[in-house]
C-alpha cells in the first residue's frame, strides 16, 4: 500500500513538473514583432533613412542606458519591452539599419511619420508598409501570419492640422478626422493583404497635454482642449472600424490600446502613479522644457531623476513610463486594452475569427477617471 502510494506521488510529481515544463515552453510562441508609426516607435531608423545623425542620436537621449541610439527616450521604448516579454533576446532593431538582425521582427517606424501627406525626411505609414513588403523575403508567410503588428500613428497629422488651421470649425475637423482614419484603414488593409493578421492599434493620447503643445499654445498648467478633442474624435472611430475589418476579413485579429485614458490618468493623478512631474518634460528649454533636447547648440536642461517624469522630452515618455505601458499592453484587462491583451492576441490561434469584438466602454471609463481613488496602489501594473 505504502509503495503504491509513493509510486503514485512520484508519478504525480513527475506529471506536475512535466506539465510545468510544457506550459513554460508554450508561454508565448516564438513569433516576430513588427512596429509601424512615428517617433514613438522609431528604433533609430531616421539616421539610416537620412544617412545623417538626428538630435535623438545624441546625449541626453539614451542617458539611462548610456546609449543614445536614435530612440526618443532616456532609454528603451515600449516595443523593446514587448520584445523582451515575447522572448526576443535583443531590443527591436531598426529595419533600415543595414546589418540588423530582423529574424524576430523590426521597427519600420520613423520620427515625424504621418498618415497623410509625405512628411519631409520621414515616411508616411503607406510608405512604411511598402518598405515592409520590399523586405518580405526575410520571413516565411506562415510566420508573418502568426506575428504581431503594432501601429501607433496619427499624432503628426493632428499637430500639423491644428497648426495650419487654427480656426477650423466642427465640420472641418470632422472631415479631417475622416480622411486620417480612412487612410489608416487603407494602410492596415494593405498590411493584411501582405499576410499580416494580428494587429495592435494604439488610440491617440491626449495630444493637448503634450509638453510641446502646452508650451506652444501657452496653456500653462492646462491642456489644449482642441487637440484633445481631435484625438477623441479619432479614437472613437478606431474600435468600430477594426470590428468591421474583423467581420469581413477572414482571420483578421486585432486589439485596441486605450492610450488616451492611460496617459490621462497619469497626467491627472501623477503622484498615484509615482511621477512627481507630468506637465513638463525632463529635457529641454522653455516654459515646459519642450524645445531643443539633444540639440548641440541648445544648452537644454536635464532633470536630475528621469524616472520621476512622465515625459522625457517635448512629446515622448521616459523609459519608466514606457515600461509601464508595455506591461499594460501585454497583460492588462479590457478597461485598458480590448478585446484581448497582447499576450492573448499572440496565443490566439491564427486563422480563427475573434470570439469577442471591441466594445465602447466610455461610460465605465468616465467613472474610473472621476473616481477619487483611495486604493490606487501606484504599482507599475495599475491601469
Ligand atoms: C501638413 O499640412 C500641410 C498644409 O495642410 C500639408 O501641405 C502637408 O502635407 C502636411 N504635412 C503632413 C506631414 O501631413
Ligand atoms: C506643473 O505642475 C506643478 C505641480 O502641480 C505646478 O506647480 C507647476 O506650476 C506646473 N508647471 C507648469 C509650467 O504649468
Sign of the torsion formed by the C-alpha atoms of 148, 55, 208 and 234: negative
Please indicate whether residue 222, judged by its CB atom, sits closer than 6 Å to ligand 2.
no
Report which of 127, 122, 109, 112 is spatially closest to residue 35, judged by C-alpha positions.
109
Q: Is the pLDDT of residue 117 over 80?
A: yes
Measured from CB, residues less than 6 Å from any atom of ligand 1 are: 114, 116-117, 119, 156-157, 160, 164
Query: What pLDDT, in 10s, does the model give residues 294-336?
Result: 998 887 789 999 999 999 999 999 999 999 999 999 999 999 9
Window from 67-71, 258-262, 309-313, 359-363 with minimum mean pLDDT: 359-363
Ligand 2 atom with the smallest distance to the CA of 221 is 14
Q: According to the model, what pLDDT value does residue 369 have?
A: 56
**Spatial separation of the C-alpha atoms in residues 45 and 111, rounded to whole Å:** 8
pLDDT score for 106: 98
Q: Provide the β-strand partners of residue 4.
A: none
Distance 226 CA to ligand 2 centre (A): 21
Counting residues of the chain whose pLDDT is more than 90, the rounded percentage is: 84
User: Which atom of ligand 2 is nearest the CA belonging to 279?
Assistant: 1
d(CA 91, CA 107) in angstroms, rounded, equals: 10
Position 24 scores a pLDDT of: 35
Minimum CA distance residue for ligand 1 atom 4? 164
Q: Relative to the alpha carbon of 271, which ligand is closest?
A: 2
pLDDT above 70: percentage of residues in the chain: 88
Burial string for 18-45 (b: 16+ CB within 10 Å, else e) reads eeeeeeeeeebeebbbbbbbbbbbbbbb
| pTM > 0.95 | no
Q: How much is the average pLDDT of 101-119?
A: 97
Q: What is the mean pLDDT of residues 49-57?
A: 91
Does 377 or 301 have the greater pLDDT score? 301
Mutation pick for ligand 1 pocket among 160, 183, 184 (CB with most ligand atoms within 8 Å) = 160
DSSP 301-355: EE-S-GGGEEESSSS-B-HHHHHHHHHHHHH--TTTEES--HHHHHHSPTTPPPS
* 157-193 core/surface letters (b: 16 or more CB in 10 A; e: else): bbbbbbeeeeebeeeebeebbeebbebbbebbebbbe
User: What domains can be seen in the chain, in order of their start residue?
Assistant: 31-370 (3.40.50.1110)
* Higher per-residue pLDDT: 2 or 303: 303
Atom index in ligand 2 nearest the CA of residue 288 equals 13
pLDDT attached to residue 368: 62
CA atoms of 88 and 48, how far apart (whole Å): 23
Residue nearest to atom 1 of ligand 1 (CA): 160
Q: How many angstroms is it from 175 CA to the middle of ligand 1? A: 15
Over residues 37-59, the mean pLDDT reads 94
DSSP H stretches of helix in 123-205 = 125-134, 141-146, 155-164, 170-193
* Cβ count within 10 A of residue 109: 31
Residue 378: all three cell numbers together: 501606484
160 alpha carbon – ligand 1 mean position (Å): 6
Mean pLDDT of 228-246: 98
In the predicted structure, residue 1 carries a pLDDT above the cut 90: no
**Cell digits for 53?**
545623425
Q: Is 316 a catalytic residue?
A: yes
Distance 289 CA to ligand 2 centre (A): 12
CA torsion sign for 71, 76, 81, 86 is: positive
Cα 60 from Cα 341, distance rounded (Å): 33
The arithmetic mean of pLDDT across residues 331-344, rounded, is 96
**Does the pLDDT of residue 359 top 80, yes or no?**
yes
Grid cell of 51 as nine digits: 544617412
Question: Does residue 3 have a pLDDT over 60?
Answer: no
Q: What is the mean pLDDT of the chain?
A: 90
Nearest CA to ligand 1 atom 2: 160
pLDDT value for 13:
45
Q: Which residues pair with 106 in a beta bridge?
A: 34
Cα–Cα distance measured from residue 103 to residue 95, given in angstroms and rounded to the nearest whole number: 11
Active site (annotated) includes residue 229: no
Closest residue (by CA) to atom 6 of ligand 2?
221
Q: Is 51's pLDDT higher than 80? A: yes
C-alpha 92/C-alpha 73 separation (Å) is 14
**Closest ligand to the CA of 111:** 1
Q: Which of 313, 317, 318, 324 is catalytic?
A: 313
Decide which of 22 and 122 is more confident.
Answer: 122
Spatial CA neighbour of 203 closest among 251, 168, 237, 245: 237
Which ligand has the nearest atom to the CA of 287?
Answer: 2
Of residues 33, 57, 108, 116, the one with CA closest to residue 329: 33
Q: Whose CA is nearest to atom 7 of ligand 2?
A: 221
Contact 119, 112 (CB under 8 A): yes
Average the pLDDT over 108-126 and give the result: 96
**Which residue's alpha carbon is at the smallest distance from atom 2 of ligand 2?**
279
Write down the residue that cell numbers 492596415 correspond to: 188
Q: List residues bridging with 148 in a β-sheet.
A: 33, 198
Q: Return phi, psi of residue 237, to 5°.
A: -90, -25
Q: Is 280 in the pocket of ligand 2 (CB under 6 A)?
A: yes
pLDDT higher than 90, residue 364: no
How much distance in Å is there from the Cα of 296 to the middle of ligand 1?
A: 28
Strands 283-284 and 301-302, how do they pair?
antiparallel
d(CA 346, CA 340): 10
Q: Which ligand is nearest to the CA of 112?
A: 1
Would you say 209 and 267 are in contact if contact means Cβ atoms under 8 Å apart? yes
Mean pLDDT across 244-256: 97
Per-residue pLDDT tens over the stretch 14-31: 444 444 433 333 478 999
Give per-residue pLDDT as tens, 154-197. 999 999 999 999 999 999 999 999 999 999 999 999 999 999 99
Length of the chain: 383
* Helices assigned H by DSSP within the chain: 2-25, 45-50, 78-85, 125-134, 141-146, 155-164, 170-193, 211-216, 225-248, 259-268, 319-331, 342-347, 362-370
Rg value, the chain, Cα? 22
User: Would you say residue 374 has pLDDT above 50?
Assistant: no
Amino acid at each position: 500500500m505504502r509503495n503504491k502510494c509513493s509510486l503514485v506521488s512520484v508519478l504525480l510529481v513527475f506529471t506536475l513538473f512535466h506539465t510545468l515544463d510544457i506550459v513554460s515552453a508554450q508561454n508565448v510562441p516564438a513569433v516576430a514583432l513588427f512596429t509601424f508609426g512615428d517617433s514613438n516607435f522609431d528604433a533609430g531608423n531616421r539616421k539610416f533613412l537620412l544617412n545623417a545623425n538626428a538630435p535623438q542620436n545624441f546625449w541626453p537621449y539614451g542617458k539611462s542606458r548610456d546609449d543614445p541610439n536614435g530612440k526618443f527616450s532616456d532609454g528603451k521604448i515600449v516595443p523593446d519591452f514587448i520584445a523582451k516579454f515575447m522572448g526576443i533576446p535583443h531590443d527591436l532593431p531598426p529595419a533600415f539599419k543595414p546589418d540588423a538582425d530582423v529574424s524576430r521582427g523590426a521597427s519600420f517606424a520613423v520620427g515625424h511619420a504621418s498618415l497623410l501627406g509625405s512628411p519631409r525626411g520621414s515616411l508616411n505609414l503607406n510608405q512604411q508598409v511598402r518598405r515592409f513588403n520590399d523586405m518580405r523575403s526575410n520571413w516565411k508567410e506562415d510566420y508573418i501570419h502568426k506575428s504581431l503588428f503594432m501601429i501607433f500613428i496619427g499624432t503628426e497629422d493632428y499637430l500639423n492640422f491644428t497648426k495650419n488651421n487654427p480656426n477650423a470649425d466642427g465640420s472641418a475637423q470632422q472631415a479631417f478626422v475622416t480622411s486620417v482614419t480612412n487612410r489608416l484603414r487603407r494602410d492596415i488593409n494593405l498590411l493584411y493583404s501582405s499576410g499580416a493578421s494580428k494587429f495592435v492599434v494604439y488610440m491617440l493620447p491626449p495630444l493637448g497635454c503634450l509638453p510641446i503643445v502646452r508650451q506652444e499654445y501657452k496653456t500653462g498648467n492646462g491642456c489644449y482642449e482642441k487637440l484633445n478633442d481631435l484625438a477623441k474624435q479619432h479614437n472613437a472611430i478606431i474600435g468600430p472600424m477594426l470590428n468591421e475589418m474583423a467581420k469581413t476579413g477572414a482571420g483578421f485579429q486585432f486589439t485596441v490600446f486605450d492610450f488616451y485614458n492611460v496617459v490621462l490618468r497619469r497626467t491627472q493623478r501623477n503622484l498615484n502613479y509615482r511621477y512627481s512631474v507630468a506637465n513638463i518634460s525632463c529635457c529641454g528649454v522653455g516654459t515646459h522644457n519642450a524645445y531643443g533636447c539633444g540639440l548641440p547648440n541648445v544648452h537644454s536642461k536635464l532633470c536630475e531623476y528621469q524616472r520621476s517624469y512622465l515625459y522625457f522630452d517635448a512629446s515622448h515618455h521616459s523609459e519608466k513610463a514606457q515600461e509601464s505601458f508595455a506591461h499594460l499592453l501585454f497583460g492588462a484587462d479590457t478597461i485598458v486594452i480590448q478585446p484581448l491583451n497582447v499576450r492573448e492576441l499572440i496565443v490566439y490561434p491564427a486563422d480563427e475569427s475573434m470570439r469577442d469584438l471591441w466594445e465602447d466602454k466610455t461610460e465605465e471609463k468616465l467613472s474610473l477617471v472621476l473616481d477619487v481613488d483611495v486604493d490606487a496602489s501606484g504599482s507599475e501594473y495599475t491601469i
